Amino acid sequence: MSPHSPAPAAYHTLDTDGIRAFLAGVPALAARLGGPAAHWRIREVSDGNLNNVFLIDGPQCGVCFKQSLPHVRVDPAWKMPLDRTFYEAAYLREIRPCVGALTTDILHFDPDLYVLVVESLDRHVVLRRGLMAGGDWPDAARAVGEFVAHGTFRTSLLAAPFEEITRRLDVFSGNRTLTRITVDLILTDPYRDHPRNHWISPELDSIAAEIRTDPRVRRRVGAMQARFLTCRQALLHGDLHTGSIMVSDDDTRVIDGEFACPGPIGFDCGLFIGNLLLHLFACRDSGGQDRAVRNIVQFWTSFHDTFLELWRTSARQDGNGDAYATTLFRNDPSGLRQAQADFMQDVTTDTIAFAAMEVIRRLVGYAHVPDFDTIPDLAARAGRQGAALALGRDLLADPGLVTSIADLASLARDRTG
């Protein structure tokens, strides 16, 4: 299975009339929506940087329509191959059996138009926007932790023989277009002069320069670049920020898996925690800060405990993963416990570093987050962002500064002042 390359001649970007005709031409989708196509309500809800997204409501049901564009949606001059919806569809097919209803159901993929249709989540809100509005979803962070634990454990060599695992990871190694974006925007640009970088200037000029020139940061960033590109621990979501999560009162879904790639498990954990840290620094009320800290700890506890429970269950049932093979530890339960603790500590170390890099890139790189827009005063906003950047710098410069997620959350809380 691989995407077309280059773009198929049949590709064109669909407008609302085109979307209506497209959906009417797929019997299963037309039946799901119900009624005559002319009665369907079509709304554009594009919110991310890359794709067109529409919600379509029929008399019976709704669907969500997503189409790759031949460029970055928010920057038409930045040309880009179309294959990202192919990888998002492939990710959903792989991950849905592992995580169930913690993500969306895939309804249709069109390989010529790079159209992906998934179930509509129209009673949900984007977690980032909800948090910015002061909302609280007490179960969301736990659910995201379960999503990461199930998705990464089951696609790792702990769960199945290497033939099965590497066959899957090899498909996603082909997601070079979006992996290049990650390598550039998260792992490289903030640590060099680049025209894509921007920040509140002149207020943040000095901390941005410190991040670019500190030799300890440079060494750590180099090591994390290598870690991201060489540690094929599991199939990652690859862009697990708070804008990739939809929540309702009783439901949490992880969406937008177009950046899926093989990589270190701490990358997904780090991106999610990095975005919760950004939200924490953007919160000025202590209630919001408490909730942000609680979300960080709940996410990590849920991820950590679920991942270990999956591993223990697999070992008890003579699981057939080729790494930390059951046969190796059959008569050495304490050795297995120590190996598991070492493994989780490595994931923790990766998580802290990638969280720091996510905080930094969202404040001085290309793609900023809107969380700080809730602070109208520019000097106050710059002050909060400067504190977050200083934390990111310190975490990278000194790997011993914190070694647990609980300590990371409480250090961040202390530094919000």
Among 121, 181, 240, 347, binds ligand SR1 (CB under 6 A): 181
Helices (H) and strands (E) in the chain — how many of each? Answer: 15, 12
Q: By CB under 5 A, how many residues form the interface with Mg ion?
A: 2
347-386 residues near ligand SR1, rule: CB under 6 A: 367
105-134 residues near ligand SR1, rule: CB under 6 A: none
Output 16 or 49, the one with its CB closest to ligand SR1: 49
Output 239 or 371, the one with its CB closest to ligand SR1: 239
DSSP H stretches of helix in 242-332: 265-282, 286-316, 326-329
Three-point CA angle 202, 205, 210, nearest 5°: 165
Find all residues with CB under 8 Å of 304, minimum gap 6, and list them: 145, 149, 344
Site string for Mg ion, 116-145 (x = CB under 5 A): ------------------------------
Smallest distance, ligand SR1 to C-beta of residue 387, A: 22
Stretch of 6-14, 40-48, 129-137, 269-277 lying at the interface with Mg ion (CB under 5 A): 40-48
The β-bridge relationship of strands 234-236 and 261-263 is antiparallel
Output 276 or 397, the one with its CB closest to ligand SR1: 276
Conformation bin of residue 324: beta by default, left when phi > 0, alpha when psi is -120 to 50: left
Smallest distance, ligand SR1 to C-beta of residue 71, A: 10
367 interacts with, out of Mg ion, ligand SR1, none, CB within 5 to 8 A per kind: ligand SR1
268 interacts with, out of ligand SR1, Mg ion, none, CB within 5 to 8 A per kind: none
Find all residues with CB under 8 Å of 351, minimum gap 6, and list them: 266, 269, 270, 273, 300, 405
Per the listing, tokens 């294959």 go with 83
321 phi and psi angles, rounded to 5 deg = -65, 145
Smallest distance, ligand SR1 to C-beta of residue 157, A: 27
Smallest distance, Mg ion to C-beta of residue 113, A: 19
Among 48, 62, 111, 130, binds Mg ion (CB under 5 A): 48
Closest-CA residue to 354 (of 244, 415, 275): 275
> Can residue 256 be called a binding residue for Mg ion (CB under 5 A)?
yes
Among 72, 323, 339, 344, binds ligand SR1 (CB under 6 A): 72
Stretch of 8-16, 36-44, 46-54, 302-310 lying at the interface with ligand SR1 (CB under 6 A): 46-54
245 interacts with, out of Mg ion, ligand SR1, none, CB within 5 to 8 A per kind: none
Structural tokens at position 288 = 């919001």
Closest-CA residue to 239 (of 222, 263, 218, 220): 263
Q: For residue 333, what is the enclosing H or E element?
A: helix 333-364
d(CA 40, CA 373): 35
DSSP H stretches of helix in 8-76: 16-24, 27-33
Cβ(297)–Cβ(188) under 8 Å? no
d(CA 100, CA 312): 21
> Can residue 257 be called a binding residue for Mg ion (CB under 5 A)?
no
Among 63, 165, 185, 224, binds ligand SR1 (CB under 6 A): 185
Smallest distance, Mg ion to C-beta of residue 197, A: 20
Residues in contact with ligand SR1 by CB under 6 A are 48-50, 72, 181, 185, 239, 367
Q: What are the residues binding Mg ion (CB under 5 A)?
A: 48, 256
